[in-house]
Structure 1
Amino acid sequence: MDFTECYRDTVSSVAAAARSGCRKRVRRMINRGFSVDCRDNRGWNALHEAAAAGSKECVQEILSAAGGSSRGCRAYVNSLTHEGESACYLAAQRGHLAVVKHLLKAHADMNQLTNDLSCPLYAAVDGGHKEVVALLVSKGAEVNRTHTASCWTCLHQAAYKGQSEIVQILVSVCDLEVLDDHRISPLFVAAQYGQQDCLQILVNTGANVNAQAADLATPLLIASQEGHETCVKFLLDHGADPNTACSRDWPQLAIHAAAEFGHISILKRLIAVTDRVCDRGDGMVSPLYVAINGQQCKSIEILLEEGFSPDAQDCTNILGVSSPLSYALSRSSNKPCSEPVRLLIAAGARLCEKVWICAMATDRSELLQLILDHRRIPQPETLTSDCPEHQCRGRTLLRLEELRGLLCVALNQTRFAACWLPLLLRAGLEPSLLLQPDMLEQADSEALNYLLGFVNWSILSPSLKHILDRRQAEKSWDPSSHFGSIPALSHLCRLKVRAVLGPGVLMRTAVVQQLPVPSPLHGFLQFKDISDAFFTHSSPSPALHQIQEYQSTHQHRHVL
C-alpha cells in the first residue's frame, strides 16, 4: 500500500476520480502512474469507489490497469474493504446492474461474505433491486445460505421487506421451509409483517401454512397478534389450523392473540372457527383471561356476546388465577369498578369469596353497588340448592353459595359495616341473617343502630339482648332513644309489609307506589327515614392486600 501519496477527500487520486464517475480523469491518473490499489481508512480502493458509484466505464479502466495475469486481476476484483465488502457487493447493494455484470465477467466472487455475513445477493434483495437479483440467481448464486446474526436467508429478507417480485424469483430456486435461528420460515415472516402479496406467493408455491417456530407459534398466531386481517383471512382460507397449540406453557391459540391485542375483526373471524373447548376445557385457558390481561374491553365484550362463559375454567395451576372476575379485580386493584369487572358482573360471573372480599373488606362501596345493580338478593327460604331450574329462572339472582359467601365475608368485616350494610339492606337482604353474635359484638354504634332499625328489636333472642345490654353498660354502643321502648305500630306494620312483599320487591321496585297508602308513606315503607351509617373514607387498599388481610384474620361462619 502506497502511503506516500497525499490523499484528497480521504481517498487516493484515482479513487476520487472513480467516485466522480469520470472515465477520462481516471485514465489520466492511471497514465500518470497513480496506483489503483491505494486504500483509504475504510479499506476502499479505486475499484470499490467505481463500483459503488455505478460507473461501468471507470470499472473497465481500473480493471484494465490492474490486469496482467488473469490470476492477478481475479485477486484484485475480489479485494475486500475493512468491512469485508467486495466491489461486486457494493454494486449489487446499490442496484448497479451493468457494473455487476462486468464484475462477474472479471471473475468476481458473487458468494463472498462480508464481515456481517451478508453477500451480493442478500444486499440486492435488501435493496429491492430485482434485476440484480435475477442476474445473480441466473449465474448460480447460493440462495439458501444464511446471513446476519438471525440466520435469515434471502427469501426471509425479501418476505420481510415485502419485495413480492423478488420473492417470485426466489421461490423457484429457494428452499421454502428454510428456518432461521428461531425456526421461523419465510412464510412466517410474511405473516408477521403483513406482507400479503409475499404470503400469497409462498402459499401458492407450496409453503407450509402451519409451520411452527421454536416456541410453537404459527403464522396464523403471529398474524392475529399483529393485527394483519387480510393475512389471517388468507391463511384460514388456505388451510391454517386455528386450533393448533402455539405455546409450551399452555395451549395458546390464535384467538388468544387477537383477544389480548384487541384486534376485533380478527377475533370475530377466529371465534367462528375455533373449537370452544378452549373456553371451559380442563388444561385450557379461556380467551377471556388474556383479554383481561391486555385490558381489552371490546374483546371481553365480544367474547361474552358470542357465548364465552364469564366463569371460564379455573386457571390457578396455569395462570395463578381462579376465574376471569378474580383476575380482572387483581388487574385493577385500585379501581375495582373497571370496565372488565363491570362487563363480567353484568354477564353473570360467579361471585366467589374473593370477589366479596374486594367488595366489602374496604371502606369503598363502588364494587358492591355495581354487583347489586346487576344481581338480586334472594330470600333464604327460596333457595335450598343451586339447582339447574334456579339458574334458568334468572342469571341475575344470587346463587345459594354466593349468598353464603356474602354473609360470611360480611360477618368477618363488621368494621366496614357502615359502608356495606345500607347497600345490602336496601337491596333486599333479610336483616335477620345479620343478627348474629359477632355482628352485635363488633359493629360500631351507627351500623348497629341502622341494622336494628330494620327489625323488631323487642323480640331479639335473650343471648342477643344480653350482648346489647352489656355493650350499652360498657358504653361501647350508644343506642337510639326509641330502642328502649316497644316498637311503634307503624314500624311493625312496615315490617309486615316487607315480609309479605319480600324485601327485594319492596326496596328495589316501584310496587310501593301502587299500594293504597298516602304518598308520604312510600319513603317510610322503604325505611328511608333511617339515617345511613357514616364511615370516614381513607385510601382504598389494593384487592390483593384486602384478600391477604382477610385470609389472615378469617374465621369461618356457619350461615344459612
Structure 2
Amino acid sequence: MDFTECYSDTVSSLAVAARESNVRRVSLLIQRGCSVDSRDNRGWNALHEAAAAGTIVCVQQLLKAAEGASSGCRAYVGSLTHEGESALYLAVQRRHLAVVKLLLRAHADINQPTNDLSCPLYAAVDCGHTDIVELLVRKGAEVNGTHTASCWTCLHQAAYKGHSDIVRILVGVCRLEVFDDHMITPLFVAAQYGQKQCLQILADAGANVNAQASDLATPLLIASQEGHEGCVEILLDHNANPNLSCSNNWPQLPIHAAAEFGHNTILARLIAVTHRVCDRGEGELSPLYSALKNNHSHCVDLLLRAGFSPDAQDCSSLFSSDTTSPLAFTLALKCTSSQPFSDSARLLVAAGATLTGREWLYILAMCKSDVLQYVLQQRSIPRPDQLSRTISLCSRPEQQSNSPLSPEELRGLVCEALGMVCHASYWLPTLLQAGLEPSLLLQRPYALRKADSEVLNYFLQFVNWSTLSHPLKEILLPRKESTWRPHYECVPSLSHLCRLRVREELGSVVLMQTAVVRQLPLPPPLQIYLQFRDIPPPSHATTVPQGGFLQRL
C-alpha cells in the first residue's frame, strides 16, 4: 500500500483543509462538528496534517477543539500515525519551529519514539535543524538514547552527517563515549566519513581518539583506509596511537591501511611515526605486503625510499606458502597476468631484494628475456673474486642496488634454470651474455641433455668442446639425431680458442659486462666477436610454459 497517497474515502475534509493551510475552512468544519481525530489510511489526523504543513493557526484551532473532546487535548497531541509519528515529530522533521514550541506548550511528549526508534531530537539532528536541536535540548530531551537498530545516538548521527554546529551543541550535554552495536563511537564515525570539523570538535572536547571498535579498528586506521588526510592529521595532533594493533586476525596498523589503499600522503605521514618493528619483526607484517596486495607501486617506492627492507619477513603463515618475501608475494599475485613483472617487482629488485630459488622460479617461468635482463642489470653476476665479499653483503638486512648476486643467489639461479632447461632458449642467451660462467651449467650435465639441439649448440659455442671429457660428451650427445652434428665433433677454430683464452684471462663478467673490449685497439667486428655477440641466439619455443610452471609450484 502506498502510504504517501491520501485516498478520498479515508481522509477527512477537516484533514484536507489543514493540509492545505485553509484556516477559514478548518474553522468552519470545526464549527460544523467535524471530528478532529478522524484518521486516513496512514493513521494521520487533522493535527498531523496541520503540524506537517506548519500552519500554527490551524494547530491552535485543532488543539482548542480537542479540549472539549472526551479524550482530552493531551491525548490528542500524543496521537500517533501508523508509523508511530507524533505531530511534534512531523513539525520537527519539517523545521516548523513555531509549531514545535506550541506543541511543547501543549505537553507533547518530547521523547516519543517512532516505530523505527527515531524521536523528535534525532529527526532534528538528522535533518540538520540546529535551532530546533537547541530548543529540544533546552527543554530536556533525552540526548543519550539509541535511535536505530544499530544503536546509534544523536551524536553518532550528527557526526555522520557532518552537522558540526549540532555536534558542538551535543558535546556539551551528551556522553562522548557512547557505542553502537559494533563498539563504534561518534568520533570514529567522524573519522570514517571524513567529517573533519566534527572530528575536531569531538577531539577537542576530550573524546577518546584511540577508542577501538569490536574488531579493534581505531579511528586512525579507518581514516587512513578511507584516505581522509585532514582527519589523520587531527587524530595525530591529538595523540592518536599509530602503533596500536588494529586486528585480532593479523598484524595491522594504520600504516598498513594507507599502503593497501594507495594513500601516499597519509602513508608518508604514518611512516614518520610508526615503529619500525613492523618492517622485519617476527610475527609482524611489513606494510610492503599491504602495498603489493593491490600493486600500489607508488607506495612501494615510498616505503623503500624510507628504508623499509625489500626482504621484510616471511609471512607465509599469515597468507600462503608463496609469501616468503615481498618479491615472491608480488610475483605470485601476477604469475597468471599478461604483465606478471609489475612495476612493484622492479622496484623490489632494484632495491636489492634477495633472490632465492622461489623468486628465480617465478622470474624464469615468465619466459621473457627482458625481465631477466632487467634483474641482472640490477643484481649482476659476481666475478670469482667477489664471492667472499658478496657473502658478507647478503648477510646485511639492506642490500644495495646493482650489487652482485650472493653465492646462494647465484646457486639458486643456476639450480632453477637447469630445472627449466626445456625452455632454455628464453634464459640461456641472457645468462651467458650477462657473464655467467658456462661451467656452472655443466655441473648438472644430465639436465642439459633435456635441451633441444639448437640450444645445446648455442651453449657449446661458449666452451672449448674439444676439452670436454668423454663421459660428458656421451651425456650431452643427443639421441641419434641425423639432422644435427654437434660442435664438438669438429676441431675448434683458432679464433674461437683465442676468445676463450681472452675470457679466461679477463673473466666472463668483465668481458661481457664492461667496456674493456671496446677500449682495445681492435675493429668493431672483432670486439663483437670477442664478446660472443656474433652467435645468433636459439629461437624461442612457440608457447610459454605457464602450465608446467604452475605445476612445479
TM-score (norm: length of structure 1): 0.92
Greater Cα offset, 446-455 or 349-358: 349-358
Structure 2 counterpart of 1:46: 46
Distance apart, 1:7 and its partner CA: 5.5
Structure 2 counterpart of 1:478: 484
Structure 2 counterpart of 1:556: none
Greater Cα offset, 153-162 or 503-512: 503-512
Structure 1 counterpart of 2:222: 222
Distance 1:466 1:364 in 2: 31
Of 426, 430, 435, which aligns to 1:419? 426
Q: Deviations over 1:9-55 (max 9, x none)?
A: 96321111111122222111222222222222211111111111111
Amino acid at match of 1:117: L
Structure 1 counterpart of 2:78: 78
Q: SS in structure 2 opposite 1:383?
A: helix
* Higher RCO (Cα < 8 Å, 6 or more apart): 1
Structure 2 counterpart of 1:409: 416
Greater Cα offset, 320-329 or 68-77: 68-77
Greater Cα offset, 111-120 or 70-79: 70-79
Structure 2 counterpart of 1:324: 326
Distance apart, 1:66 and its partner CA: 1.6
Distance apart, 1:59 and its partner CA: 1.0
Distance 1:227 1:549 in 2: 40
Amino acid at match of 1:325: L
Residues 364, 537 of structure 1: 8 Å contact kept? no
Matched, 1:525 2:530: yes
Residues 124, 132 of structure 1: 8 Å contact kept? yes
Distance apart, 1:380 and its partner CA: 4.5
Structure 2 counterpart of 1:446: 454
Residues 125, 133 of structure 2: 8 Å contact kept? yes
1:166-205 matches, cutoff 5 A: 166-205=166-205
Q: Deviations over 1:245-304 (max 9, x none)?
A: 111112211111111111111111111111011111111100000001122111111000
Matched, 1:461 2:472: no
Distance 2:545 2:256 in 1: 32
Residues 50, 59 of structure 1: 8 Å contact kept? yes
| Structure 1 unmatched ranges of 5 or more | 1-5, 552-560
Matched, 1:58 2:58: yes
Percent of paired sites with the same residue: 61
Distance 2:383 2:242 in 1: 46
Amino acid at match of 1:257: A
Greater Cα offset, 191-200 or 508-517: 508-517
Amino acid at match of 1:397: P
Greater Cα offset, 181-190 or 11-20: 11-20
Distance 2:18 2:374 in 1: 78
Distance 2:16 2:211 in 1: 51
Structure 2 counterpart of 1:516: 521
Distance 1:426 1:391 in 2: 28
Distance apart, 1:485 and its partner CA: 2.1
The CA RMSD measured in Å over matched residues stands at 2.0
Residues 192, 223 of structure 2: 8 Å contact kept? yes
Amino acid at match of 2:408: E
Moved beyond 6 Å, runs of 4+: 390-393
1:264-303 matches, cutoff 5 A: 264-303=264-303
Of 336, 358, 364, which aligns to 2:362? 358
Distance 1:228 1:277 in 2: 25
Distance apart, 1:539 and its partner CA: 5.1
Q: SS in structure 2 opposite 1:513?
A: coil
Q: Deviations over 1:375-415 (max 9, x none)?
A: 10113564258533567895421111111111111111110
Of 543, 548, 551, which aligns to 1:549? 551
| Structure 2 unmatched ranges of 5 or more | 1-5
Query: Number of paired residues?
Result: 540
Distance 1:75 1:539 in 2: 83
Residues 216, 248 of structure 1: 8 Å contact kept? yes
Distance apart, 1:71 and its partner CA: 5.7
TM-score (norm: length of structure 2): 0.93
Residues 363, 538 of structure 1: 8 Å contact kept? no
Distance apart, 1:72 and its partner CA: 2.1
Distance apart, 1:63 and its partner CA: 1.3
Distance 1:345 1:56 in 2: 75
Structure 2 counterpart of 1:554: none
Residues 110, 141 of structure 1: 8 Å contact kept? yes
Structure 2 counterpart of 1:29: 29
Greater Cα offset, 530-539 or 210-219: 530-539
Structure 2 counterpart of 1:347: 351
Amino acid at match of 1:475: E
Distance apart, 1:73 and its partner CA: 1.5
Q: SS in structure 2 opposite 1:273?
A: coil
Distance apart, 1:145 and its partner CA: 0.7
